[in-house]
Structure 1
Amino acid sequence: MMLLKPFQYWKHRLTRKGPIRLAMTLLVRNEIDIIEDNIRFHAAQGVDCFAVMDNGSTDGTRECLQRLQSEFDLHVIDQPDQNYQQALWMTQLAEYARTQLKADLVISNDADEFWLAAEGTRLKDHLNANDSVVTLKRRNMVLTEDALQDGYHFSQARYAVKNPILYSSDTQINDTAVSMLLVKISPKTIVNPHGLIRLKGGNHWAKHGWRWINARDAAGITVYHYPIRSYSQFEANIINRQRLLKETNARMGDHYRRWVKLYEAGALKEEFGKFVLSQHDVETTCRIGVTELCTTIGNSLELSLNKP
């Protein structure tokens, strides 16, 4: 089967017609605070269709997706299994986008990531239907003291990581007071589902039957990452991670395992405090080039979501 993947790519390349059809896939569980904003934002950015796998949400996410189906070309796939096979499921979603949505290219997304094209352009302006794997830079948005106020919305974040803090492999960053939002994070990919073999990791890399010749980086699209938006969202995430660690053999980063231990010890709120930059922290990190004022994504979010 793997040997057929390059031929699958070339067959599609030689027979496809018309403009690029761009699909977005998401694997979600309990993302009620952000999933609707994610769909609306990317539809405004030119995404044609969505395939969303719901992994047993209990907070209203599934019902929200069902309601959005009346507005968007959005397909919901229920995945009740609780063994959390992210790479496998996202690969399956890409295949669904290929066969059912007739997609030329697929953005394998997370609910907390927003893909923004350069000013005055849309996502498809930076893509080619013949691309195999397109790799893009991802930037964390950081929390400031504004995030502690009632009514705060994640789109109000105005500072992004510019030059991440780098550590040697033997440095134990988990024991420091440095915000995990300031460290280096992996890129993301847009894939051609025709010829795709599998997505790997957290959708940061892809194995493709034609990657060796038609893979490239794209400078005109940036992925803005909002992994921690409030204490309640952070706590809910860690409670779910605790469940996964107890009930499954799910793979996850050491930082998540550490946060689960802190939650169990009643120290998670103190940990959350490390993510929030004071005004002095903001001024210092901007001065040394670690963070920078970044209003483009916030303005785009407010425009597409009609936020004041």
Structure 2
Amino acid sequence: MPLFMTLLVRDEEDILDANLSYHLAQGVDHIIVTDNLSVDGSPDIIQTYVNQGVATYIRETDNTYSQSKWVSRMADIAHDAGASWVMHCDADEFWVAPKTDLKGWFSGQRWHNVVSAHRHDFVCLENDDSPFWQRMIYRKSLSTNPLGQPLPPKVAHRAKSGLTVAQGNHAVSGFLWPRILMSDLEILHFPLRSREQYIRKIENGGQAYANNTELALSVGNTWRMQYTELMETGTLAFVDTNTVSAEMLQDQLADGTIQVDTRLADFLDNRG
């Protein structure tokens, strides 16, 4: 049962190697990566895995963040390469299966052809130059997007040609009879890892959405609103309120706002 994963990245060198090595260790057989205009070390990291035969590298040069089009293309490539299941992932997302690895979990699916997985945000400690996973071991008890709305789940599906993965990887269409499972899979989510990293993400993503003349303005509204805020004020309230000090951390642990979750840290600290 070949398990494939897609990944769309742009300037993710601080987290990309961790993401690729983690998911391969969890049973993903092959990862199709679309690199959209990275200017950091991301292409070199991807190429390392291509050289090992476990990744396919696509270079996308359009600055339009046409995620649905690009991810749907990767889903077709995965189907043509023999995938049974395809997971759609972002560089800051780490999928976790209960009591087994991802390969074992998907191998046990018999009835459903689409599965959804909920995400859990981790809080960003003030950056002391340590790897993100060593300081980001505190998970929010309630995860919301920068607009205060509940985080929508992400999807995986059985491989099939001609599917359309929605912008954001939150849904997939094209099955005659979609049988959707709200699964017990979890996604550990690390969107804000440093002030510089997140501001660069919004600069890149907001400009790309502004360049896209095909998508409705309601698509990508979180990034669009943050980009406008950044252009008008030079800062982001989301970054200011979600980058916590050691003192703030203790208060949030005490009132139950956050909880300790070392699953990713344990894996990455112990990988060979």
So what's the TM-score if we normalise by structure 1? Answer: 0.77
Consecutive unaligned residues of structure 1, counting only runs of 5 or more, are 1-19, 166-178
Correspondence list, 1:159-238, <5 A? 159-164=138-143, 180=146, 184-194=150-160, 197-212=163-178, 214-219=179-184, 221-238=185-202
Structure 1 residue 95: deviation in Å?
A: 0.7
C-alpha offsets along residues 49-106 of structure 1, whole Å, 9 cap, x if unaligned? Answer: 011112222223223212221224211112222222111211111110000x210000
Amino acid at match of 1:158: I
Give secondary structure in 1 for the equivalent of 2:51.
coil
After superposition, the Cα gap between the structure-2 partners of 1:133 and 1:183, relative to the gap in structure 1 and judged at 3 Å, is: same
Cα distance between partner residues in 2 of 1:142 and 1:183: 17
Q: Determine whether 1:115 maps to 2:98.
A: no
Indicate which of 79, 99, 103 corresponds to 1:124. Answer: 103
Partner of 2:65: 84
Cα distance between partner residues in 2 of 1:22 and 1:59: 28
After superposition, the Cα gap between the structure-2 partners of 1:283 and 1:180, relative to the gap in structure 1 and judged at 3 Å, is: farther
Rg larger in 1 or in 2? 1
Give secondary structure in 2 for the equivalent of 1:124.
helix
Cα distance between partner residues in 2 of 1:111 and 1:102: 23
Greater CA drift, 288-297 or 39-48:
288-297
Structure 1 residue 122: deviation in Å?
A: 0.7
Partner of 2:51: 70
Structure 1 residue 194: deviation in Å?
A: 2.0
Contact persistence 1:180–1:275 (CA under 8 A): no
Give secondary structure in 1 for the equivalent of 2:196.
helix
Q: Determine whether 1:45 maps to 2:9.
A: no
Cα distance between partner residues in 2 of 1:254 and 1:217: 25
Question: Sequence identity of aligned pairs in percent?
Answer: 26
Amino acid at match of 1:258: M
Greater CA drift, 245-254 or 285-294:
245-254
Amino acid at match of 2:180: A
Structure 1 residue 279: deviation in Å?
A: 4.2
C-alpha offsets along residues 216-267 of structure 1, whole Å, 9 cap, x if unaligned? Answer: 1321x21111111111211211221342244333555333233223332453
Partner of 1:294: 261
Structure 1 residue 273: deviation in Å?
A: 2.0
